[in-house]
Every structure is written in structure tokens, then in C-alpha cells.
Amino acid sequence: MRVVLATGNLGKLREFAELLGPAGLEFEPLSAFGVESPEETGLTFADNALLKARHAAARTGLAAMADDSGLEVDALGGAPGVRSARYAAAPGSDASPGDAANVDKLLRELQGVAPARRTARFRCAIVLLRSADDPAPLLGEGCWEGRILEAPRGRGGFGYDPVFEDAASGRSAAELASAEKHARSHRGAALRAVLAQLRAAVR
Ligand code: ITT
């Protein structure tokens, strides 16, 4: 199956290459087709993953996979959530402010919040569509529990990884080797769920 991966996020692209290589599924990034990303208007991660996959399948005529993910922080009532990529953007703007600005804003919002109240989780929804009008999309979801640190730690990963402490190991996501991150992460779990459905469907 030739699959287009509907993401413009280089950190996600790298992780998909690491995760999909061993599964034997080859993909091409949406950027290779000169297609822009759609506006993310969904209320849930699954809504947005479906919208991105359908857009990519419609524009390329290929099967498409998309990931929508983000960070849910309990002390912030679940924010930034589906708005994680645009968290530090000016009101009304849809331009991506970048990882550093998003992390700075998160640390500012949590200033003075005690360690025990800094619980958070990454969420990820991954959708695989065989075509733009596929009536039965495959959907996998994953969740990774942790806590928001008071300052960044580690040099790996991308996005919010340096300020997300893995509940199980006490290390930041940016301090984990990539294989360790995939074994625990929201994206690893969501992708394993999609691949299991795919294997069952082609059996
Ligand atoms: P695409 O929509 O093109 O895939 P995006 O960056 O806009 O790229 P999302 O809308 O899904 O993707 O936003 C995800 C946000 O959550 C973004 O700020 C990421 O940095 C962050 N995020 C998701 N998974 C992450 C991970 O494993 N580690 C750190 N940050 C992550």
C-alpha cells in the first residue's frame, strides 16, 4: 500500500519513519506532493486526524495516514489540548508559534503550581484511510501519563518533550532514547493499534 503521511511536523515525521520502518509500511510525506495542510477545526484529536487524512487522500488520490496529538494539563483544565501546536499563537492567528514559544507559555502558565498538581498526559489519534471516501477509517488512540517539569531537561525528541516527565521512569521525554519513547508514548500506542487493525483487515 502506498501511503501519504499527512503531517508537516518534522518531529512526527522522524518518529513515523522509526515506527513504520520495522512494520514494513512505506510512506511519503504530504510535502512531497506540494499540498498544504488543512485548517484543524475539529473538537477532538480523532476529528482532526480524520480531517487531515481525508484532505491528504483527496489531494493525492492515495491512502493516507494522519496524526493529531497534544498535551492535556490538569491544572489548566485540559489545555492546551487540541490547540497544543497553536498554544502561544496570537488570538485569531493560525500561524504556528513554534515549539520554544509554546513551551515558554506552558511554563509561565504553571508558575507557582506545586509538583503534585502538575499532572498531564500526551494524547494521540492516528487515522488511516484507504481513500478519501473510505467509509471505515482505521482509528488508533494512545495516551501517555506524566507531569510538567519546572524547567526543560534533555536534548532528544521535539515539541513539549523537554518539559514532560514520564510518570514511569521519572525522566523527561527528551531524556529517553527514541526506542524507549516509542515503547511508552501516545504515538507508539496509537500506531500499534492502527497496525493491529490493518493486519486483521488484510488477513
Ligand atoms: P501536523 O498537523 O501537520 O501533523 P502539528 O504540529 O500541527 O503538525 P498537531 O496539530 O497534532 O500537529 O499538534 C501537536 C502538538 O503537540 C504540537 O505542538 C507538538 O509539538 C505536540 N506534540 C505532539 N506529540 C508530541 C510528542 O511526542 N512530544 C512532544 N510534543 C508533542
Question: What tens digit of pLDDT does each residue of 124-156 get?
Answer: 999 999 999 999 999 999 999 999 999 999 999
pLDDT of 65 over the 80 cut: yes
Between CA 47 and CA 63, with CA 135 as vertex, the angle to 5 degrees is 80
111-138: string of b/e by CB count within 10 Å (b at 16+)? Answer: eeeeeeebbbbbbbbbbbbbebebeebb
User: What is the structure's pLDDT at 2?
Assistant: 85
Domain that residue 60 falls in: 2-201
- Cell triple for residue 75? 491544572
10-20 and 186-202 helices, crossing angle to 10°:
50
Give, for 120, the enclosing helix (H) or strand (E).
strand 119-129
Instruction: Ligand 1: list residues with CB < 6 Å.
Output: 7-9, 12, 37, 40, 52, 67-71, 84-85, 99, 102, 122, 157-161, 173, 185, 187
Rg, the chain, Cα only: 17
User: What is the structure's pLDDT at 92?
Assistant: 79
Domain count, the chain: 1
How far apart are the C-alpha atoms of 50 and 37, rounded to whole Å?
A: 13
pLDDT of 34 over the 80 cut: yes
Rounded to two decimals, the pTM is 0.97
For residue 77, with 0-12 CB atoms within 10 Å meaning exposed, 13-18 middle and 19 or more buried, which class applies?
A: exposed
pLDDT of 1 over the 80 cut: no
Question: Closest Cα to atom 16, ligand 1: which residue?
Answer: 70
CATH number of domain containing 125: 3.90.950.10
CB neighbourhood size of 10 (10 A): 11
Question: What tens digit of pLDDT does each residue of 88-130 get?
Answer: 998 877 788 999 999 999 999 999 999 999 999 999 999 999 9
Between CA 195 and CA 94, with CA 166 as vertex, the angle to 5 degrees is 70
Give, for 189, the enclosing helix (H) or strand (E).
helix 186-202
